[in-house]
Amino acid sequence: MENKKHKIAIAVTGASGSIYAKLLIDKMLQLSGQVQEVSLVMSDNAKAVWELELGNNAYKNYPFRIFEKNDFSAPFASGSAKYNTLIICPCSMGTLGRIASGLSNDLVSRAADVMLKERRKLILVTRDTPLNLIHINNMKTLTEAGGIVCPASPSFYSKPQTIEELADTVVSRLLDLAGLENKTFRWGE
């Protein structure tokens, strides 16, 4: 019998890299046996970038609970809801900076603050490059506070043949970090 203990929130910000968010959300559908609940929040910029990069608005069609960016009544805005993990994918440097500064001015930054204060998993999938010293210091601050900075840096040793396969190397890493079982290429197997 599978244990459906994971409660996961996914936040999508306006950084480029909507393919990562789409693949992550699609994987959550495939791994539904391991997950009790999935919730989704997207910034306005995230929706615009998704539509620009992916050419659709399929984010509206997922069967997960979807919350508006300022809906502080969302369960993952409180530690008492016992969400295990928040994955911000992709995570803009602006979002990272607000979280590192302790500013909870929207649902994404509030949920991140909850994960840090409750000592739960906060995974930030940064995508911007190059990095300036402010970005690096913000990443340091978040890492010291217990967050996991996982840059959207795909791997090539599995010899991906498509853009989706390449992006999936990052998503598979995210699933590992979240503690979910995922069939993927494993080094040395």
Listed residue (9, 11, 7, 10) closest to 34, CA to CA: 7
Task: Give residue 117's domain range.
Answer: 6-178
Would you say residue 66 lies in a domain? yes
pLDDT in tens, 72-112: 999 999 999 999 999 999 999 999 999 999 999 999 999 99
Band of residue 32 on the pLDDT scale cut at 50, 70, 90:
confident
* 144 domain-assigned: yes
Identify residue 81 by its one-letter amino acid code: A
Q: Which two tokens stand for residue 97?
A: 């900076």
CA torsion sign for 52, 57, 58, 63 is positive
CA 63 to chain centre: 17
1 is a domain residue: no
How many structural domains are present in the chain? 1
Residues 154 and 180: beta-carbon distance below 8 Å: no
Residue 61 makes CB contacts below 8 A (sequence gap 6+) with none
Residue 186 lies in a domain: no
CATH number at residue 163: 3.40.50.1950
Q: In what order do the strands lie in the sheet with 65-67?
A: 65-67, 35-42, 6-12, 85-91, 121-126, 148-149
Q: pLDDT value at position 188? A: 74
Residue 189 lies in a domain: no
User: If phi over 0 gives left and psi between -120 and 50 gives alpha, with beta otherwise, what is residue 188?
Assistant: left
